[in-house]
Amino acid sequence: MRIISIVGARPQFIKASAISRAFKREHSENLEELLVHTGQHYDDNMSQIFFDELDIPRPHFNLEIGSLTHGQQTGRMLERIEKLLLLKKPAAVIVYGDTNTTLAGALAASKQQIPVIHIEAGLRSFKKAMPEEINRIMTDHVSTMLFTPTQRGIQNLLREGFSLEQYAPPTMDNPAIYPSGDIMYDNSFYFAQKAEKTSTILRRLQLRKERFVLSTLHRAGNTGNPDRLYAILLGLKKIADSKTRVVLPLHPGTQKQLTSITNQAFVEEINNHSYIDLIEPVSFLDMIMLEKRAEMILTDSGGVQKEAYFFHKPSVILREETEWTEITENNATILTGANSGKIAQAFLHFRNYPPEDYPEIFGNGDAATMICKEIVTKLA
Ligand code: UD1
Ligand code: UDP
């Protein structure tokens, strides 16, 4: 049985590592996995570093698409993935999450009636202005097997006409949905052990003893709007002004958008602030160590807000809504949007009243084993 996994963006390399590990461990005799990298992310610290560090096999194919407009990027991926699928004729295609890579992979495969397996299905922000929301909905509705990390994901799919009852082998017209738990929960704990042994980030940034918060920022709705970008950075600066270190590994897209802020003197202040560590993106093992040691995490990332919860850290979500509503329901996060005052208030709230409890809502840490077994038994 040949499966093609399609990845292209930072979080997808990390997610794919959990599935590749489980395939190798349990099904290496009867399954061949080919990895396709679309090239959506291409800087060494957005791509290669994850392959080096997480023992992911080198991609069998790199389509080298790069940064383009949404239409160009998705269109070029679609064309090249189609060619590859015609050549390699896989039994199924796996796509992850909600990026343009996800959508292109799902469209190319479904048009050839190749079953699409969507990992991290069913999530919704209910905001179609978000490019990811369109990618998720479209991908879910051409998928054959949908693995959902949370109960809310299942509820969303049921509302859109999917059913939990399954009488026959899954097909595109008769898709199967599964509450599988979250493969990132698997990954965070699997790699935390390695991170403890090998990461040097805390020493490099001299953070071993000092209290700090961690922040990431890359969501298009924030970085593509200079006023929002400014307001969020102002919120982070207020925290830094109170003499708490803010560690900010900045996505390259956000770094480029800093020039769009009218007040460049402010950008200069951020760059030179003695309590702000504005650094390049870090490796996943370094990220884990920063997350484990941070007092709290301020982010607009989907993955990072969950990792905060995995490691029992409060998070401040720099958006108006989240797909991971279970985290909000457990009072482990505050949604601030791009409001500098609310960001500073949320920081103070969690400093004074950290959450007491982080109930398990992301599965048992072994989602990948269940997913791979289901794929092999249902599609073989
Ligand atoms: C993409 C996903 C987003 C995901 C994120 C993970 C879409 C629509 N968005 O957003 O859902 O959360 O990846 O990180 O697919 N750039 C570089 N070097 C790189 C990659 C990007 O400089 O290696 C810069 C380019 O200027 C590019 C910008 O970042 O235009 C944005 O990259 P892109 O892949 O379009 O979107 P992300 O913001 O990374
Ligand atoms: N991440 C990383 N280095 C960084 C920032 C993030 O390894 O400098 C990891 C993070 O731990 C998480 C994933 O990348 O596992 C999340 O990716 P991102 O925030 O880019 O995308 P999203 O999850 O929002 O789609």
Residue 235 has pLDDT above 90, yes or no: yes
Q: What is the SS3 assignment for 234?
A: helix
pLDDT of residue 210: 87
How far, in Å, is the centroid of ligand 1 from the Cα of 7? 13
Ligand 2 atom closest to 291 (CA): 11
Judged by its nearest atom, the ligand closest to the C-alpha of residue 216 is 2
How far, in Å, is the centroid of ligand 2 from the Cα of 28? 29
- Main-chain phi, psi angles of 353, to 5 degrees: -130, 70
Task: State the catalytic residues.
Answer: 218
Amino acid at 124: R
Residue 55 has pLDDT above 90, yes or no: no
User: To the nearest whole percent, how much of the chain has pLDDT over 90?
Assistant: 96
Alpha-helical segments (H) within the chain: 10-27, 48-53, 70-88, 100-111, 131-140, 151-159, 183-198, 201-204, 220-223, 226-241, 252-257, 264-272, 284-293, 302-310, 325-329, 340-352, 367-379
pLDDT of residue 355: 95
Residue 208 has pLDDT above 90, yes or no: no
Query: Which residues line ligand 2 at a C-beta cut-off of 6 Å?
Result: 10-11, 14, 216, 218, 249, 281-284, 287, 301-304, 307
177, 161 contact by CB (below 8 A): no
CATH 3.40.50.2000 fits 188-352, yes or no: yes
Calculate mean pLDDT across residues 250-277: 98
Burial 241-264, CB ≥16 within 10 A → b, else e: eeebbbbbbbbbbbeebbeebeee
Domain boundaries, the chain: 2-182+363-379, 188-352
Ligand 1 atom closest to 46 (CA): 23
307 Cβ inside 6 Å of ligand 1: no
Domain 2-182+363-379 top-level CATH class: alpha beta
Mean pLDDT of the chain: 96
How far, in Å, is the centroid of ligand 1 from the Cα of 252? 8
Judged by its nearest atom, the ligand closest to the C-alpha of residue 285 is 2
How far, in Å, is the centroid of ligand 1 from the Cα of 256? 11
254 Cβ inside 6 Å of ligand 1: no
Ligand 1 atom 19, closest CA = 41
Q: For residues 184 and 297, what is the distance between their CA atoms, to the nearest angstrom?
A: 17
H/E run at residue 247: strand 245-249
Looking up tokens 């017209």, which residue turns up?
173
Query: pTM for the complete prediction?
Result: 0.97
pLDDT of residue 144: 98
pLDDT of residue 201: 97
pLDDT of residue 312: 97
Residue 166 has pLDDT above 90, yes or no: no
335, 77 contact by CB (below 8 A): no
Ligand 2 atom closest to 132 (CA): 25
CATH topology match: 2-182+363-379 vs 188-352: yes
Residue 368 has pLDDT above 90, yes or no: yes
